[in-house]
Chains A and B, each alone.
Chain A
């Protein structure tokens, strides 16, 4: 049987943020994470997540008069949403099981 793909804590954090806000820039994710995502590593994580098929991205159209590179907006793929939902369900089952054993 194929194993359920795993998320690292940073990957999960990113997916949860994107589920909540739909589309974000890398720097916005760092700001919204409250310090849990770091500027230096978030782009590397985002790049890896794109490779794994967890994220899609598009370039933001440059505002008129703006200079520099266009920023990249990220959003989760269906695969990432399914994996997140499955892990959340698994966690609920585990927590319920632990409570039953305690009782």
Chain B
């Protein structure tokens, strides 16, 4: 009956003690008894039905996760750490490009319009600092900790969706208009169109249509990236300290995540062309590989601990 114990442990990590006592304990108790009373030939069916009802109960109770209020000191700490990490990342991304801008008078424009684009690149990696703040905060119940992380994930997706979908395209277009001084408005490339405009564009199957699909894929994947990095850091912090697989300090962990992302970001485009994958799927390949690497690390760590 390990599966029922695992299910209950899962619920205990995500929900407050009262919800666990009133909803999940009775559900699991009835499931266990039904399993014990069933003939061996029916036990698999009992487990399938139990898992299904457990999943439905989890979905129905999910709003309770978001009602768990984190202490103000914790939310302030998360906001502070994320702001610092995002600001540092943004500065690091902008400075080398700003130095390359030839004319002194356009440098100010460049910095102003490049900031939103740099923020959306830096923000997902700030999740490492945020997770460390959540996990390091003492005196908070596990369900509140996880609820805070879940809320942070939702907010991060919404932030990325809004920034990458509307703010960055507007800034890109403003930059072009400010610097090229054409007689008419410069043509708008996919990166300068809002997500709504991309979704409603009626381009025939041309290179531009492919570029639009690629841009949409990029935006969707980047919106999910913060949650993936949150999950990876969370799992890494679960591992014991002082071993080869242990989580590094937040700064080193962030840099390692950035390098891993950039390394995996280059190759998938080639994979997309060589394996004839759908246009725009390369970004999802990158995310898949990042998730796979995280899973392999945890699996190897667990295997190493069992062997030890």
Whole-angstrom distance between the Cβ of B51 and the nearest chain A Cβ: 10
B88 at the interface (CB under 8 A from A): no
Q: Are B56 and A69 in contact (CB under 8 A)?
A: no
What residues on B are CB-neighbors of A26 within 8 Å? 26-27, 30
B99 at the interface (CB under 8 A from A): no
What residues on B are CB-neighbors of A47 within 8 Å? 19, 22-23
Q: Are B56 and A38 in contact (CB under 8 A)?
A: yes
Partner of B53, one of A39, A46, A51: A39
- Interchain CA distance A51-B212 in the complex, whole Å: 52
Residues 34-60 of A, flagged 1 when their CB comes within 8 A of B and 0 if not, give: 000011110110110011000001000
- Interchain CA distance A47-B22 in the complex, whole Å: 5
* Contact flag A46-B26 (CB < 8 Å), given A40-B57, A68-B1: yes
Q: Are A67 and B26 in contact (CB under 8 A)?
A: no
Residues 55-98 of B, flagged 1 when their CB comes within 8 A of A and 0 if not, give: 11100110000000000000000000000000000000000000
A21 at the interface (CB under 8 A from B): no
Partner of B25, one of A27, A40, A44, A69: A69
- Interchain CA distance A70-B33 in the complex, whole Å: 9
Residues 16-41 of B, flagged 1 when their CB comes within 8 A of A and 0 if not, give: 00010011111111101110100000
* Contact flag A69-B28 (CB < 8 Å), given A27-B34, A44-B60, A50-B22: yes
Whole-angstrom distance between the Cβ of A60 and the nearest chain B Cβ: 8
Q: Are B57 and A72 in contact (CB under 8 A)?
A: no
Partner of A41, one of B22, B24, B26, B57: B57
Majority-rule SS of B interface residues: helix
Q: Which residue of B lies closest to A48 (CB)?
A: B22
Partner of B23, one of A25, A44, A70, A71: A44
What residues on B are CB-neighbors of A44 within 8 Å? 23, 57, 60-61
A4 at the interface (CB under 8 A from B): no
- Interchain CA distance A40-B50 in the complex, whole Å: 9
Q: Are B29 and A69 in contact (CB under 8 A)?
A: yes
What residues on A are CB-neighbors of B25 within 8 Å? 69, 72
- Interchain CA distance A68-B57 in the complex, whole Å: 20
What residues on A are CB-neighbors of B296 within 8 Å? none
Q: Are B29 and A40 in contact (CB under 8 A)?
A: no
Q: Which residue of A lies closest to B27 (CB)?
A: A43
Q: Which residue of B lies closest to A25 (CB)?
A: B30
Q: Are B36 and A40 in contact (CB under 8 A)?
A: no
Residues 15-39 of A, flagged 1 when their CB comes within 8 A of B and 0 if not, give: 0000000000111000000000011
What residues on A are CB-neighbors of B56 within 8 Å? 38-41
B4 at the interface (CB under 8 A from A): yes
Q: Are B26 and A43 in contact (CB under 8 A)?
A: yes
* Contact flag A67-B36 (CB < 8 Å), given A39-B49, A43-B24: yes
Q: Are A70 and B22 in contact (CB under 8 A)?
A: no
What residues on A are CB-neighbors of B30 within 8 Å? 25-27, 71
B52 at the interface (CB under 8 A from A): yes
User: Which of A58-103 touch B at CB < 8 Å?
Assistant: 66-72
Whole-angstrom distance between the Cβ of A41 and the nearest chain B Cβ: 6
What residues on A are CB-neighbors of B52 within 8 Å? 39-40
Whole-angstrom distance between the Cβ of A97 and the nearest chain B Cβ: 37
What residues on A are CB-neighbors of B23 within 8 Å? 43-44, 46-47
Partner of B60, one of A27, A40, A46: A40
Binding site for A on B (CB under 8 A): 1, 4, 8, 19, 22-30, 32-34, 36, 49, 52-57, 60-61
7 sample A-B contacts, Cβ–Cβ < 8 Å, listed by A number: A40-B54, A41-B56, A68-B1, A68-B36, A69-B25, A71-B26, A72-B26
Shortest 10 CB-CB contacts between residues of A and residues of B: A40-B56, A47-B22, A68-B32, A39-B53, A69-B29, A27-B30, A72-B26, A40-B53, A71-B29, A43-B27
